[in-house]
Each structure stands twice: as C-alpha cells, then as structure tokens.
Structure 1
Amino acid sequence: MGSERRKYDVLIAGGGIVGCYVAYFLKQRAPAIEVAVVEPDATYEYASTVRASGGARRLFSCPENIEMSNFSIERIRHFAAEMAVGNEPAPIDWVEQGYLFIVAGDAAMRMLEENARVQQSLGADVRMLDRDGLRSLLPSMHVDDLDGGAWSPGDGWCDPNGFLQGTRRKVKSLGVEFIQDRVSGFVLNNGRISAAALGGGGVIEADHFVNAAGAWSAQVSAMAGMALPVSPLRRFEHYFTGHRQIEPLPYVKDLQRLAFRSEGRGFSGGLVNSNEPRGFNFDVDHRYFDEVVWPALAHRFPTAFGGVKCHRTWSGLYEQCELDGNPIIGTWTGNHENFYVAAGFSGHGMMHAPAAGRAIAELIDAGRFETIDLGRLGYERVMKNEPYRERGIL
C-alpha cells in the first residue's frame, strides 16, 4: 500500500468510513481526480466503525442531522448494489426494524413532539406513541414509568464492518490510492497547506487536505495549528441473550443513554457513560455490564432480562465533540482554506458518513455546499464558542 506518487489533488488523513466516503464522492464528481487516503492500520482493528453498533436513524432535532440521515439511510439501503465491484455485491445486512426513543415527563414528551414535527417536515416517517401505544408496539416492555415515545419504522441498522470494507473496496476500484502510514505534520506555505509529512518518511504534496481521522482528528488538526474540540470517549458494546424470548425489538433508546436492539437470536447494545475519562483506552471493564447495563435492561424488559447472559463485550471510541456533540464539517475560514475537516460525530459517524463525504466533496469541487447546507456545522461556531446542540437527542 505504499505510494510511488508524491503529488495528488486531494490527500485524506484517515481511511475510516468518513474518509472513504469523501474519496467516493470526489470520484463520483470528477473521475479523473487523483485522491490518496493515508491510513496507518490496514486491519482497522481500533477503528470506531468496526466497533460500532451499526445504527442509522432520523430521530434528531437539528435539521442538518435529519437531512444527512435521510440521504445516508437511502445509500445504506441500496449499498449492496451501489458499492458492488463488477458482479460482486457488497452486502451489509440492513435490518429495517425501526428506532424507538422513550421518555417520561410532560416536558420530555413536548420535546419529542417538537422534534417529530421537524423530522416529519423533512420527510421522515416518525410516529408519536403514548403509553398505550408503547405497550401495543412492545408488549414485553415495562411502560408504567413512561409517558410515550417517538417511533421511526423506516430506520434500522447494518453490519458496520461490512459497511466500511465494502466502501473501501469500492473506492480502491475507482482508483483511489491507500497509503499505509500516518500524517505526522503539514507544510504551510503562504496561508495554505502545500504538503503533508508522513510518519514513515517522505512528504506528499496536494491541492486539498482533508482531516477525517475520527478519534485522532484533534491531533491531525493541531499539526495545522487548528484547535479541534474532539476527544476520544470510550464506550462499551455488549452482545447478550435473555432467559426468555420476546418480540423482535427496534433500536430502543432512552435519555439516560441506554440503547440496544435485536441481533440475531440475542441483542446488542449498551449504556454510554458520558463522564468516562477521555483518552485512547480500549480496555474492557466486564463489571460494567452487570453493574450498570443489566439493571437498566431488567427494569425496562423484566420478562426477558430478569435473567441475562452477556456473551461478549468490546470497547470502541466516540470522536466526541466537546463543544456541543455535533460534527464539525467544513473549512477553516480565514486560515488554510484548503484544509477541510469532517470529524467530531460523537457516535453518529457511521450513519452520517455518506452525507458528510458528499458535503466535503462538494466543498472541494464546487467551493460550496450544493445539496444540504451544513454551514451551521462549520468550524466558525468553534471559533466563536457558539454551541449548536441537539435537543434531547444523544
């Protein structure tokens, strides 16, 4: 995966799902464009996508996130055919069993209803359910302490590793070059970045540079003098089975960050600790499931999870945007404007990668957002310290 070329039109730091989709849409817009992706680990052992839950949903409050989901979910639905190479499809096992956000309290219900109106106005199929509606949808769920929820039946989940590997295979077939190395610095020249230094030695010139390094994106931006408020946040995913069978579940999520779904004969999910110390920590705490996750599961689905067996626990990293939990997508206005960032997705990178990749490709090729206006997700809000947060959505 070494490179013989020393000059490209676009150099992308980070070969995860976001970086791959930037490369894909650049090639869709301009097939002759020369694109290189610098990725240090060809196995993707610690990549966030392969350790993710694979969920994709429209249940957001910010219009930009809803619109990115609308676009991205359609690409995921048709991924097997769109990302086929020759006659070989790219299956990712899309499961369309919906998402369900559950809440308690009048204020939380009003918030869900307001969010639902925005979602519906942008074409999302979102249905509000009261307590009886929840009980009808999921008879095994304890609902006496809930007031209702928002259900989006067209949402679902996929195999995240298949999603990443299929995208990577497709962009390689389009002529994108992958360089197994790490960006170790940038060469600045007259207000622009002219080249990137690689950890293994050598310098690669390019006209445009993209930071899609995920949990490592703050380090990449710092090499250009850009302070990016993105930190690695460890979270656990668990595969578990209950002691009794229940109805197939959508992706169930509450405001305490319990989130889980059906997975084959069992279930996959977890409960994110927002106060987890930041850092590149992949250690697994096997007590966490018994002490934190199981009690929440047993309360919500006592029939199934009064007894439960956790078969596997693994850790992964959110690229947490510490400003507001929303991604940073765009250029550094007034500084090195040939440097683009697509990072800080805070757990939503896989589901929004197609839309984010298209957005960066538009900026590079046309100098502006042409489809979804993501201006409010730009770096300007970081410079002004003006958070743009989701309402009641994690």
Structure 2
Amino acid sequence: MHSLRNKYDVLIAGGGIVGCYVAYFLKQQNPAMEVAVIEPDPTYEYASTVRASGGARRLFSCPENIEMSNFSIERIKNFSAEMSVDGVPAPIDWVEQGYLFIVQGSRALQMLEENAQVQQALGADIRMLDREGLKQLFPSMHVDDLDGAAYSPKDGWCDPNSFLQGTRKKTKSLGVEFISDRVSGFTWSSDTIVGATLSSGTTLAADYFVNAAGAWSAQVSAMAGMVLPVSPLRRFEHYFTGHRQIEPLPYVKDLNRLAFRSEGQGFSGGLVNSHEPRGFNFDVDHHYFEEVVWPALAHRFPIAFEGVKCHRTWSGLYEQSELDGNPIIGSWTGNHENFYVVSGFSGHGMMHAPAAGRGVAELINKGRFETIDLSRLGYERVLKHEPYPERGIL
C-alpha cells in the first residue's frame, strides 16, 4: 500500500540490507525524521543479500573497509538482541569460525603480511600462518604449493536472509515506511532534487534521496543524471557435500577467488568469474560446479572433495564497482547535493551494511562522517577517475 504522505525527510531507493540500515540509523539518530523506503519486490526473490554466502571478515587492506568490518561484525554478533522487536529476539545464526586467506608466491605473502599489519593496528585479531601452521590447524588441506595464509579467528558468517528480514522488521517498528513500488524518475529544481516518481505514477517529495538500489543502482542514478560505474555481475553459489568428513574449517578464500564455508552437514561456496559478462542474468550454468569449482576444491582438500556431490546451485548478483571494486558512499558534491549513493560493494554489501548505513545517516543528519571517515570512498573519486582499490583478495 502506498503512503498518503506527500512529503518525507528522506526517500531511499532500495530496501535490501543496505537501504534498511540507512533507514535504521536515520531513525536511531533522529527519531522524528520521516523516512520511506521504496522497494519494488518485498519478497526479495532476486535481492543480492538473500543469495549471498553471509560472510563477514576483517581481511581487507583499506582502513575504511577494516573499520567498517570491525563495527559491522559486532552488530551482527549482537544482532539477535539489538534488533529484537517487542522482546522477541532476531536470531541470524552467527557462526564465529574464522576466515582464512591462502596464497601462493612471495609477493602475495608479503601483501598479506602488510595488510595484516594494518588490520592489527585497527584492533583485528589476525594470525599469519606458514605451511606447517596451516597443516597443524587444517590437516586435510593440501599445502605443498602454498606459501602462507592470514587467519582471522573472530570472523565468520550468518544467515543472510534472516539478517535482511530482521533488519527490515526492526526498521519498520521504528516507524520507517516501506512502499512496494519502483523509482522511475526524479524531478529537480535548480541543483536540488525535489521528488521521486514511482512506476505507479505517484510522485513523492523529500528533502534527501538515497540510492541504495544495489545491482540496479546505476539505473537509479542515471535518472538523476549521475553516471555511476556499477554493474550487475552474476555469480554462482553452490551447496555441496564431500565424501569424507574433515575437521571444522573457517571460511576459506584463495587468490583465484575460490571461496567456501561450512553449511550444516555440507558446504556453501563457489568461485567467482570476474570476466563474467555484465548484466541482469539469473540463469544457472549447471556445468560450472563440475568444470570450475570442483577441480579447485579437490586440489586443495583432496581428502574431502575428490568425491563431491553438488546438491543445489543458485545465482545472484554482485553490484560490481567497475572503477576499483570499492563501494561509492556519499553525496553528489557540486551537483544534486541532496542525492546520496551507497552502492558498488562488489560482494561486500551484507557485511558492511551496518557501517555504511550509519555513515550515510551521519552525512544526512550531521553533514559529515562522525565515526568512520569514509571520505575516500566518495563519488569525487569517480569524477576524478582516481581508483582506490583493495590490495589483495576480493
């Protein structure tokens, strides 16, 4: 049902996990603020969050990403209590089983070591492991071709669908309105956007507008005349089981973008093809697991995965930042300055949603970042074509 209100303080395009957290922190910081979220599909059938793996880790090189992880992981760990509604907890099945980045080559190892110094300086528990250390902790792993690893034992994963639904429910309880519609255009006066037109024909006025439309965010920005270098990148997630049980594993990632974690009696993961043609493609290639993922699994964990069964494959979209793989967070300085974007997370949107949402809320309510300075992730770097990339595994 559409609102009878003609004017809001803030309108948010996109009701996924990022849009929900923007709304949540807007109301936390200013309970009197009138906020509406425009979400075209309240079932979230194709939303990136519900098709994600649910991982959250501190293994980044950019200080902003590490600090966002520090904040967000604590919110995820305490989610059940913090996001309870009327005394009913909101469990999201947090599993603190760690993350493990494994590398080959001295240069890659040096990169991990340098990143670890930054991560440790920002309070993260990071342990560097050599081959012997790896073999001792994870005896089923083939390590002869590895030169080392970074291990973050306090990272982990959660159930992404419960994370999204719990955030949405809590946000609605604070008075945020969710409107089932799609933004189809904007109207502006001089340099200020004054209204959003919806597919239903309704036009809603607001003081501020936020683009949190994920893989669809470039389309939303284009309606305001803003060029946003964010594209939908299809990736597959697989649920599979091995033919032999092995020791508990952390979330394992390598330089070739193999990534998987435990899930019930089996595992969930995949291997992202960075060269996948961009576009809104949800088709599933049922040969991909056998041809690409299984060989990588069998090489790294031969005891468990020389025999493996893939039970299910599904596709989802990364909102890929084509500039540098890092999110774009901030206003359109020098143009429609009441238009904010929070997009381009390139696979990290779920884990960084709490921190990114708080950051955008601070910009709107306070006019500046007050907690984590995310200025280097702003839209200005797009205008200047000055990439600010991660060093290491994405």
Q: TM-score, normalised by structure 1?
A: 1.00
* Alignment correspondent of 1:254: 254
| Letter of the 1:158 counterpart | C
Paired residue type of 2:392: G
C-alpha distance in structure 2 between counterparts of 1:382 and 1:134, whole Å = 40
Q: 2:311 & 2:247 partners in 1: Cα distance?
A: 20
> Structure 1: which amino acid aligns with 2:108?
A
In structure 1, how many angstroms separate the alpha carbons of the residues matched to 2:136 and 2:52? 30
Aligned twin of 1:296? 296
- CA deviation profile, 1:62-91 (whole Å, cap 9, x unmatched): 000000000000000000000000111100
Distance in 1, matches of 2:210 and 2:272, equals 29
Q: For residues 167 and 251 of structure 2, what CA distance do their matches in structure 1 show? A: 24
Shift of 1:202: 1.3
Alignment of 1:364-383 (within 5 A): 364-383=364-383
1:134 aligns with 2:124: no
2:309 corresponds in structure 1 to: 309
Work out the CA distance in 2 between the residues paired with 1:104 and 1:36: 48
Letter in 2 for 1:44: Y
| TM-aligned CA deviation for residue 5 of structure 1 | 0.9
Which amino acid is the alignment partner of residue 168 of structure 1? R
Give the superposition deviation at 1:188. Answer: 1.0
Specify the alignment match of 2:333 in structure 1. Answer: 333
The alpha-carbon deviation at position 190 of structure 1 amounts to 1.6
Offset of residue 2 of structure 1:
1.7
Q: Distance in 1 between matches of 2:6 and 2:53?
A: 37
Within the alignment, does 1:221 sit opposite 2:234 as a pair? no
Partner of 2:181: 181
Aligned equivalents of 2:6, 2:151: Cα separation in 1 = 50
> Where does residue 165 of structure 1 map in the other structure?
165
Partner residue of 1:80?
A: 80
Partner of 1:357 in structure 2? 357
Task: Look up the match of 2:393.
Answer: 393
Tell me the secondary structure at the aligned position of residue 47 of structure 1. Answer: coil
Which residue identity is paired with 1:336? H
Q: CA separation in 1, counterparts of 2:275 and 2:202?
A: 40
Conserved 8 A contact 2:257-2:393? no
Equivalent AA in structure 1 for residue 318 of structure 2: Y
Give distance in 2, aligned partners of 1:58 and 1:89.
26
Letter in 2 for 1:384: K
TM-score (norm 2): 1.00
State how 1:1-394 maps to structure 2 within 5 Å: 1-394=1-394
Q: Distance in 2 between matches of 1:286 and 1:384?
A: 41
Deviations 1:290-309, CA, capped at 9 Å, x for gaps? 00000000000000000000
Aligned length: 394
Q: Deviations over 1:137-179 (max 9, x none)?
A: 1000000000110000000000000000000000000000000
In 2, the alpha carbon distance for the partners of 1:232 and 1:6 equals 32
Question: What secondary structure sits across from 1:96 in the alignment?
Answer: coil
Shift of 1:6: 1.3
* 1: CA distance, partners of 2:333 / 2:5: 29
Identity %: 82
Q: Deviations over 1:276-318 (max 9, x none)?
A: 0000000000000000000000000000000000000000000
Paired with 2:308 and 2:150, the residues of 1 have a C-alpha distance of 27
Alpha carbons 1:18, 1:357 under 8 Å: kept: yes
Counterpart AA for 1:116: A
Alpha-carbon offset, residue 97 of structure 1 = 0.2
Letter in 2 for 1:147: D
Structure 1 position 191, deviation (Å): 0.4
How far does the alpha carbon of each residue in 1:225-269 deviate from its partner, in whole angstroms, 9 at most, with x for none?
A: 000000000000000000000011100000100000111110000
Please give the alpha-carbon distance, in whole angstroms, between the structure 1 residues aligned to 2:60 and 2:357. 19
- Indicate if the aligned counterparts of 1:61 and 1:393 stay in contact, CA closer than 8 A: no
Unaligned runs of 5+ in 2: none
In 1: Cα distance, 2:263 partner to 2:161 partner: 15
3-state SS of the aligned residue for 1:208? Answer: strand
Distance 2:330 2:257 in 1: 28
Deviation at 1:393, TM superposition (A): 2.3
Amino acid at match of 2:160: P
* Deviation by residue 1:117-142 (Cα, 9 ceiling, x = unmatched): 00000000000000101111100000
